[in-house]
Amino acid sequence: MADTEAAAKTAAAAGAQTHAPPRGGVRLRGVTKTYGSGETALRALDGVDLDIEPGELVVVLGPSGSGKTTLLNVIGGIEPADTGEISVAGTELTGRPPKDLVAFRRERVGFVFQFFNLVPTLTARENIEAMMELTGRGDRSGAPGLLGAVGLSDRMDHFPAQLSGGQQQRVSLARALATDPDLLLADEPTGALDVATGTSVLALLQETNRQGRGVLMVTHNASVAALAHLVVTMRDGRVETVRRNAAPADADTVSW
């Protein structure tokens, strides 16, 4: 617990020093996405319109099957939408070929997943360096700084098997930031963590956002909504509500 608090404080301190202009705005118009065909067709997104301002922290809520992960995937360029217009961080995604989407992901967005998906044969530092090396973005010498920002300076040369779940998720976050994305997309980032660890990860995400980077977080945990500038609720592939928080709470005040 002390470890996670320290991490959040370190990250906050790091963020406080480097405030940048807001980035990572999103604009969706009439976006649809259907899986399968015929009787088994499933309309995951059904005419979604959404505007996210640059530098906003957005939480997308909704029950299972409501389309929130599909929304994250089409914004992240992992999956193409069937119809509609999508613009992310100033890049128009509509009708782009897969190769362009790969470049877009490399240059504009970063991902954090529920199960971390670290390379088990690489140390924390190497996981970040590998991402830099493979994407050709970032400087390997920046890896220790990123790990320091997530409070893992003393765990840089540890392998995933030697790290706790929370520590692994923090490495995962540092890895996502390694390419300096405009928008960070997080899919259930606290889903595999206990409350205390989850809170520390949320603090790091919030700090990342305070540095001007857009953050879009998909979760089924309604308590997390308190952190967000914008809370989007989805149901049956549609945006049911969009609520703006006048005063987002600090992550360390959130509990579930």
| R_g (Cα) of the chain, nearest Å | 18
Q: Pairing state of beta strands 230-235 and 83-88? A: unpaired
Shortest distance in whole angstroms from residue 79 CB to another protein: 5
Contacting residue, 7, 59, 61, 130, with another protein by CB under 8 A: 130
Q: How far is the CB of 35 from another protein (least distance, A)?
A: 10
- Closest approach of Cβ 232 to another protein, in Å? 19
Q: Looking at beta carbons only, is 133 or 139 nearer to another protein?
A: 133
Q: Does 73 bind another protein (CB under 8 A)?
A: yes
Structure tokens at 238: 């549609």
- Side chain identity at residue 127, one-letter code: N
Binding mask 148-177 for another protein (x = CB under 8 A): ---------x-xxxx------------xx-
With contacts defined by CB under 8 A, how many residues of the chain interact with another protein?
42
Q: Looking at residues 88 to 127 of the shown chain, list those that interact with another protein (rule: CB under 8 A).
A: 102-107, 109-111, 113-115, 117-123, 126
- Is 135 among the residues that bind another protein (CB under 8 A)? yes
The reply to whether 3 sits near another protein by the rule CB under 8 A is no
The pair of three-digit structure tokens given for residue 203, joined into one six-digit string = 């603090």
Give 130's DSSP letter.
H
First vs last Cα of the chain: how many Å apart? 16
Binding of residue 182 to another protein (CB under 8 A): no
Position 219 contacts another protein (CB under 8 A) = no
Convert residues 27-66 into a mask of x (bound to another protein by CB under 8 A) and - (unbound): ----------------------------------------
Give the count of beta carbons closer than 10 Å to the beta carbon of residue 122: 16
- What is each CA distance from 82 to 28, 92, 95, 112, in whole angstroms? 13, 15, 9, 25
CA 224 to CA 20: how far, in whole Å?
24
Identify the CA nearest to 242 among candidates 96, 53, 81, 88: 53
Distances (CA, A) of 217 to 17, 57, 95, 186, 214: 24, 8, 25, 5, 10
Task: Please give the residue ranges that form the binding site for another protein (CB under 8 A).
Answer: 69-70, 73, 76, 78-79, 102-107, 109-111, 113-115, 117-123, 126, 129-131, 133-135, 140, 157, 159-162, 175-176, 179, 187
